[in-house]
Structure 1
Amino acid sequence: MEIGFFIKLNRIKQNITQGELAEGIVSESYLSKIENQKTEASKELLELLCARLGVIMHYDDDFKTREKCKKWFSLLCEGNDTEEITLLYQELQAIMDNHFSDIHTLFELHKIRYFTLIDEGDLALEQLKKLKEVVTTFDVEKQYYWYKFKGNFHVKITENFIQALEYFKIAHSKVNQFLIQEQDIADLKYYMSLTYGKLRFSNDSIDYAKEALEIFQQHYNYNRCAKTHILIGIAYRRIKKNDKAIENYDLALRLAQAHGYLSLIQLTNLNLGHLYETKGNNEKSFYFYNEVVKDPNSRFQARLKAIISLTRLYYLDNKTTAAINLVTQGKDLLAKENSQQLLYIEKSLAFYDALLQSDNDSFAKIANDELLPLLKKQQDYANIVNYATMAGNHFESMKKYKLAAQYYKLVNNAYAQLIKI
């Protein structure tokens, strides 16, 4: 039983020092041993500590609570129905607030994944800080989830993929040290594939994705199969194996259409649009991007990403009016949503808006002070190449050669980074 963790976590939540909690009950040093699970205190002593914290100590090994927790953990792994996930979280939190169970620590750890999933970065960070205080008490299983969920946090919230990969590697090193569900291992391998892909380690991305795919197929998890085929397709596109990329995108699309996975249909169409754009087949590229933009069921972010891609194509094709109309549509959509995850889209739309309106002062400021620094922070060298090239070409066309040369230098530096990767 991990009652020491339960006491320490509640003390931290209430911003109470060890001295304040221990006063008149036990020595501070003995309380430290209890919290770090280095001694077993009497039930009476533990009840006194819990009473001072305002919580009731129930040694609750209720089978239903454990099963609900396991169901919630599984739903988090899939990450699909956030409404069901949230309702179950609220139910479990009400139980965990006053009942101690040996699954309590795992519940607190999975809250990192939950807050990350629902895009509550501040709450996820707060949970990480709280649990950092008790990391030394974690056994191998809890260490695994600690590092895995830290990796998830950095993938989605901070987009620090190098840091995320380090955490995923540590988690992966612990897989064979305790009993773990196969689908949980597949989930870790999926995110390792995704992170390797973000860092342009395409062959590693393919290897981990194929390992994850094999497990998802064995469990008939068609949603995750489709997502994994998309990852494999992206990696093959990046190493110029377009036939294999199209093969995987086609498999993803067929699975998504057969099972009604609307968001995955849109995601596959986005990636097919990008693939044909890199091949110079603008006709097919326009088709797939428009499939996303025109679909009334398209998710918010997918539609915005398609608008950005179509704007680029229209701009490069000198279809200025069409590009301006798309930027306006994108800004209208963006006004309805406020998310840190949309910062890249916001800055991209501002970039195209100033570029298409020939507002050179605003354009240079957005490019130099906002968009390109953001892309550097995210280590998105491919997009640095795209945007810096457009900026360089724009200023060169205006015979501002010195300014254009600065952007071309950025392009060369970004290419050098891509080559290293």
Structure 2
Amino acid sequence: MMKIGDRIRFFRIQQGKTQDELANGIISISYLSKIENNQSLPSLEVVDMLCERLGIRFLDEEEPTLLEELMVWYKRLVHGEIEAVKSTYPILKDKVISSNDSTTLIHFILFEFRYFLHIGEKEAAKKTLEKITQISDIFTDDLNYYYHKFIGLHEYMQEQYSYAYDSYKKAEGILLRNVFEKWEEADLYYSLGLTSSRLWKVTLCLNYTNQALAIYQAQYNFNRSAECQILLGISYRRTNDLKKAEESYLLADKIATTLNNSSFKGFIHHNLGYLYTIEGKSELAIKHYEKSILFHEQHNYKKTFPSIHCIIMEYFNKSDYSNGLRWVEVGLNKIPDSMDSMEYYYHFKTYQHLMSNANEESSEMEFFLKEKVIPYFESHNNYKYIAEYSEMLAGYYEKHFKYKNASLFYKLSNKSLKKINNI
């Protein structure tokens, strides 16, 4: 049960009241401040007057039942039952707000933040986060768990993977000293695995993803099991265990076929394509990338960007600049006028510079890599592409006898590679 001072402060902030507005005619502002900070225990008469002005009950009589209903809604959100979640959201919101159950309402605000992130309502998520920040100092351990977990997701979606990982680790710390349901554990472990993968922390990714997979398999959650197998395949590929990588992808493909899940098929074909790229089977790789694009276009065109990027690199490495530039145009035409897809904008534009100016000097490409591309990936701690594009720029400087600049960017490339290898 929430302390009375925390509860009064929470509802005052929710209703946009100042301390003066709430205290006026009842008690002094300084005394209200002490009550809200749990430094003074008010009389029942004062509590009744403050609650009456706020339009709330002294006790949360309906809280357990409503909170259970809310937890079911949140579980469906985590499991991706988005249509059911969307349809019940307004009904549940009305119930929570009209009930004035403080603990349930705080849970709802946190889960609502997670919901807005899931459906891509950025402005609504931003406003909800502002509300959460105002009341975060009264959170219990379980509320802090959700807070750090959802902040992790928010940062992950902003491509701030290092910060996302730190937030998820804070949530894990709370998870380890409390009891949560197994599906909740699995969701956090998968999130940690996914973020570790983005940071090229391969060993950690394997560890967290296998923990999540064990729970999903025990609960016969085939969708999430397939996601884990794809993520494991990526990690095995990065450790050059191509046989295990292929096994994971094929296991995921069996599940995707059974579930008739074209989104999974898109991811699987992309990763099979990359496997063939590593093996030097360029034509076969391109065929799988193209299949991936066809599957992903049915759901989310942004998920086609990695495969388009890989096709461009395949043609670039074969010096087939005509086909390479054709795919650059395909990629650039799909990118919206927003910051969401900046990573692939920089990939596509870089290869456009490289292939358009393959036989001539390009100071424009030098400026683009030095002032735009490398700083972007540095700001996101994406060491793989810091290394790749720094080496590319160093080679350009070396070719033009600018050895001091070449040395500088070779060092940056090596430093980034060491960070990847030390993870």
TM over 0.5: yes
Give how far 1:56 is off. 9.1
Give how far 1:216 is off. 0.5
CA distance in 1: counterparts of 2:220 and 2:205, whole angstroms: 22
CA distance in 2: counterparts of 1:41 and 1:350, whole angstroms: 68
AA aligned opposite 1:419: N
Give how far 1:118 is off. 2.6
Give how far 1:217 is off. 0.8
CA distance in 1: counterparts of 2:72 and 2:341, whole angstroms: 31
Give how far 1:189 is off. 1.0
CA distance in 1: counterparts of 2:169 and 2:294, whole angstroms: 40
Partner of 2:51: 47
> Aligned ranges for residues 80-159 of structure 1 at < 5 Å?
80-101=80-101, 102-157=103-158, 159=159
2:417 matches 1:419? no
**Structure 1 residues 58 and 415, CA gap change in structure 2 (3 angstroms):** same
> Aligned ranges for residues 164-203 of structure 1 at < 5 Å?
164-203=164-203
Structure 1 outlier segments of 4+, above 6 Å: 55-58
Partner of 2:355: 356
Partner of 1:19: 20
Partner of 2:380: 378
Q: Please give the root-mean-square deviation of Cα atoms over the aligned residues, in Å.
A: 3.0
Q: Indicate the percent of aligned positions where both proteins have the same amino acid.
A: 26
Contact 2:386 / 2:416 at 8 angstroms: preserved in 1? yes
Give how far 1:9 is off. 4.1
Give how far 1:314 is off. 1.0
Partner of 1:228: 228
**Structure 1 residues 21 and 185, CA gap change in structure 2 (3 angstroms):** same
Residue by residue, what CA displacement relative to the aligned partner does 1:227-272 show, whole Å, maximum 9, x if unpaired? 1111111111111111111111111111112102221111122222
Could you tell me which runs of 5 or more consecutive residues in structure 1 were left unpaired when the two chains were aligned. none
Partner of 1:257: 257
CA distance in 2: counterparts of 1:40 and 1:381, whole angstroms: 56
CA distance in 2: counterparts of 1:131 and 1:40, whole angstroms: 26
* Structure 1 range deviating more: 242-251 or 11-20: 11-20
* Structure 1 range deviating more: 167-176 or 230-239: 167-176
Contact 2:394 / 2:406 at 8 angstroms: preserved in 1? yes
TM-score (norm 2): 0.86
CA distance in 2: counterparts of 1:114 and 1:276, whole angstroms: 38
CA distance in 1: counterparts of 2:57 and 2:66, whole angstroms: 17
Contact 2:23 / 2:50 at 8 angstroms: preserved in 1? no
Could you tell me which runs of 5 or more consecutive residues in structure 2 were left unpaired when the two chains were aligned. none
AA aligned opposite 2:389: Y
Residue by residue, what CA displacement relative to the aligned partner does 1:292-321 show, whole Å, maximum 9, x if unpaired? 223452531221221111111111211111
Give how far 1:407 is off. 4.5
Contact 1:186 / 1:215 at 8 angstroms: preserved in 2? yes
TM-score (norm 1): 0.87
Partner of 2:340: 341
Give how far 1:165 is off. 2.4
**Structure 1 residues 92 and 406, CA gap change in structure 2 (3 angstroms):** same
Count, aligned residues: 413
Contact 1:56 / 1:99 at 8 angstroms: preserved in 2? no
AA aligned opposite 1:350: K
